Copies of this chain bind each other. A is one copy, B any other.
Amino acid sequence: MTHHVSSMLETYPKELGNIDQQKLAECIEACFECAQTCTACADACLAEDMVADLRQCIRLNLDCADVCAATGAVLSRQTGVNVETTRALLEACRAACKMCGDECASHADMHEHCRVCAEACRRCEQACAELLATLG
């Protein structure tokens, strides 16, 4: 998907402003990937025999999917400005990815889907932090 994210940024008809285009593209991509992965991980946890022990993981998966989807959409817009919201949302997305990544990582040795999901959360958490750093 990164190719398409970058293509859309490159074909934007006006100036993109001061934002780091590479970090922006990586963060958008990471948000959509994490939203998909967390949706699938909540579903895989639900299918586990020990689902009763995975309630906290499912909760964090569902929240993380919602926050990542909203963040990916907001970051995909360049027209006008909404810096304050973007910054606060990136903080929320970083928090959601950290909570979910920590939880998934804690039982990644038992559930392969949680291992894959923890990776997606880590990548998105990192991408949010890096984009935030460029926003000053």
A residues whose Cβ falls under 8 Å from a Cβ of B: 1, 4-5, 7-14, 28-29, 32-33, 35-37, 39-44, 46-49, 51-52, 55-56, 58-60, 62-67, 69-70, 72-74, 76-82, 84-85, 88-89, 91-92, 94-96, 99, 111-113, 115-117, 120
Contacts and interface: CB of A to CB of B under 8 A. Distances in A.
Number of chain copies forming the complex:
4
A94 B74 CA distance: 15
B111 A99 contact: no
A117 B88 CA distance: 22
Given A11-B111, A32-B32, 15 more contacts: A4-B36, A8-B37, A11-B115, A11-B116, A12-B43, A40-B77, A43-B76, A43-B78, A47-B78, A51-B55, A58-B79, A60-B82, A62-B62, A63-B82, A88-B96
Q: Which 5 interchain pairs have the tightest Cβ spacing?
A: A59-B80, A11-B112, A88-B92, A70-B70, A8-B40
A12 B44 contact: yes
